[in-house]
Structure 1
Amino acid sequence: MRSNRIRTTVLAATALLAALSLTACSGDNGSSESSKAGAAAPVANTIDKQATSQPESQSQPQTAAPKEGATDAPATNSGTKTDGSGSGTTKNTAPPTKSDAKNTGGSTDKAGNTASSSKRVTCTGSNTKVTVTKVSRPINHLLLTVTNTGSQLCDAYYAPKLRFDDAQAVFPILDDSQPQAVVTLDPGQSAYAAIGLTGEPGNGPAPRKATHLQVNFAGKNNVGSTGTPAELTLPANTYWDDNGFVTYWQTEMADALQY
C-alpha cells in the first residue's frame, strides 16, 4: 500500500511539472508576441519623428519651381520679350533700322545728280563752258569763267594758258595769285580767272588789238596743255600787251578780281 502511495505521489508531481511546463511555454509565447510588438514601436516612432521634423525643413527658404509657360515680368523696358514657350528665348522687338539708299560718297549738283568723288577728271574745253566778259573794275581787265558741264568732278589745275589771236607766246601767268589748293568743280559749279590786259603805260611795246582768245587747260603735271582748248570771241576794242597777266583759277570771283 505504501508503495502505491509513493507512486501516486510521483505521478502527481510529474503531472504538476508538466502543467508548469505548459504554463511556461505559454508565457514564452506571450513574451515573444510582446517583443515583436515592442520591436515595431520604434518604426512608428521613427515615422512620427520624420513627421515632426518636416516643419523644420519647410522653415528654410525654398525656390519655387517655375510653371511651364510662365514668364517673369521685366523690371525695365529692355525692348525684348519672351516667346511664351518657357524656354527663356528672347525676341528683339525694336523696329528695324532703315538704311539710307542715297549715295553720299560724292557731291550733288543743283539738279539732284550725285557725282562720285572717286571719279575725277581734268577740266578741259570738252567738259566745261568758258566765257569771257569785260569788267569795269579793275580797269583794263577781263574775267574768265569756267563752268563744269560734265557729270563728274573736274579739277581746274594751275592757271589758264592764253593766246591772243596768232600770238606765239603764252600770256604771262601771275604767280602771286596761286591758291592753297587745286580748284575742284562739282557739276554746274564755276571757277574764275582775271586777265590784266596791259601793264604800266610806257613799259614795252604799244598795246595790240585782239578779237580772238584761245584758252588752254593745264594738266596735273603742268607740262604744256591738255584736252581740247576753248575758243572765245573777245569783247569789242580789247587791247593787250606783253606786260599783262592772267591769274590762277579761283573759287570766288572776288579773289580773281583783286589782282
Structure 2
Amino acid sequence: MRTSRLRLLAAAGITLATLSLTACQDGTGTKDEGASQPNATASADTPTNAPEGDAGSNEPSRSGADKGSGKDDGKGGGKDTHQGTDQSTDRATDRGAGTSGGSGDPQARVACNGSNTTVTARPVPRPLNHMLITVRNTGSKPCDLTYYPVLRFDEMQWVPQPVEASKPQAVVGIDPGESAYAGVLLSAADGSGDGGTTGRTLTVGFQGRTPNSSGGPAATPSLPAKGVYYDSSLTVTYWQQSMDDALTY
C-alpha cells in the first residue's frame, strides 16, 4: 500500500517537471499575478514632461507669442511715419496775407505814406458823427496800406482804437492815381461818450509791416474851419478798398 503511494507521487513529480520544461521552451514563462515590474520600454521611449526650453539650459522657455519669431510686432519702435513730410504748408503760413488791390511786381511795391499820397479828411452826413479819410496814391509805384491809420487830434495823449470787425482779409494796395479809405466814428450818437472836445488839427500816421511800427512820414490833412468834435467814443476802421466799406462801421 505504501509502495503504491510512493509510485503515484513519483509519477506526479515527473509530470510537473515535464510541464515546467515545456513552458520554458515555449518562451511564455509563468506569470506572477502580484508582481510589479517596471515598464522598461515606456521609460525609454515616452518623453518626460520637461520644460520647453533646452534640457540643461538656464534660459527660460518662451511663450508661444515669442517663439520662432525675431520680427518686431510693430508696437514698439518702427519707422517714423512723418519722415520726409513736405514743409511747404509751414512756409506758406509764414508769408502772411496777400495784397488786395494794386498791381505790378510785389517786389516793386512800396508803403503808402505822407510822401507819396494825398490825404483828405472830411465829415460825412451819413452815418451820423462819422468822418471819411481818403488816401490817393500820387506816386509812380503801387503802394500798400497796412493795418489802420493812427489818428491824433491836436495834442491828444491817447490813440483811437480800431474796429476789429473791419479788419480786411489782405493788405490794401492802391495803384498810382487810385484811392483807399478809412472811416472814423467821432462821437457816440446817444451822447454816452466822455471828454467831448473840438479838434483843430489832425495828424494821420501810417504803420509799417509790423503793428505799431512807423510806415514813413505822416500826413496832416486840413479840417473844416470850425474844427471837428470828438469824444471818448473815437474809433477808426482798418484801411478799406472801397468808400462804402469804410463807412459801414
TM norm structure 2: 0.56
Q: Residues 122 and 156 of structure 1 are in contact (CA less than 8 Å); yes or no, is this contact kept in structure 2?
A: yes
Alpha-carbon distance in structure 2 between the residues aligned to 1:243 and 1:256: 17
5+ residue gaps, structure 1 = 1-108
Alpha-carbon distance between aligned partners in 2 of 1:118 and 1:226, rounded to the nearest angstrom = 17
Corresponding residue pairs, total: 147
For residue 246 of structure 2, the aligned residue among 233, 239, 256 is 256
Alpha-carbon deviations, 1:15-70, whole Å to 9, x = none? Answer: xxxxxxxxxxxxxxxxxxxxxxxxxxxxxxxxxxxxxxxxxxxxxxxxxxxxxxxx
Correspondence for 2:32? none
CA contact (8 A) 1:115 1:187 kept: no
CA–CA distance in 2 between the matches of 1:221 and 1:131? 25
Percent identical residues: 46
Select the residue among 189, 192, 212 that pairs with 2:201.
Answer: 212
Query: SS where residue 205 of structure 2 aligns?
Result: strand
Distance verdict in 2 for CA 1:162–1:230, change over 3 Å: same
Which residue, 168, 183, 186 being the options, matches 1:194? 183
Provide the residue aligned with 2:230 in structure 1: 240
Q: Is the counterpart of residue 156 in structure 1 residue 145 in structure 2? A: yes
Q: Give the AA of the match of 1:197.
A: L
1:144 match = 133
Deviant stretches of 4+, over 6 Å: none
Deviation at 1:181, TM superposition (A): 0.7
**Structure possessing the higher radius of gyration over alpha carbons:** 1
Unpaired runs of 5+ residues, structure 2, are: 1-101
| TM-aligned CA deviation for residue 141 of structure 1 | 0.7
CA contact under 8 A between 2:154 and 2:202: conserved in structure 1?
yes
CA deviation after TM superposition for structure 1 residue 133, in Å:
1.3
Letter in 2 for 1:251: Q
- Partner of residue 173 from structure 2, selected from 179, 184, 195: 184
Ranked by relative contact order (alpha carbons within 8 Å, sequence separation 6 or more), the top structure is 2
Q: TM-score when scaled to structure 1?
A: 0.54
Deviates more, 1:126-135 or 1:116-125: 116-125
- The separation in 2 between residues aligned to 1:192 and 1:204, in whole angstroms, is 25
Letter matched to residue 223 of structure 1: N
Please tell me whether the aligned partners of residues 129 and 189 of structure 2 are also in contact (alpha carbons under 8 angstroms). Answer: no
Alpha-carbon contact 1:150-1:187 (below 8 Å) kept: yes
Quote the residue 1:15 is aligned against: none
Please state which structure has a larger fraction of its residues in strand. 1
Q: Which moved further from structure 2: 240-249 or 115-124?
A: 115-124
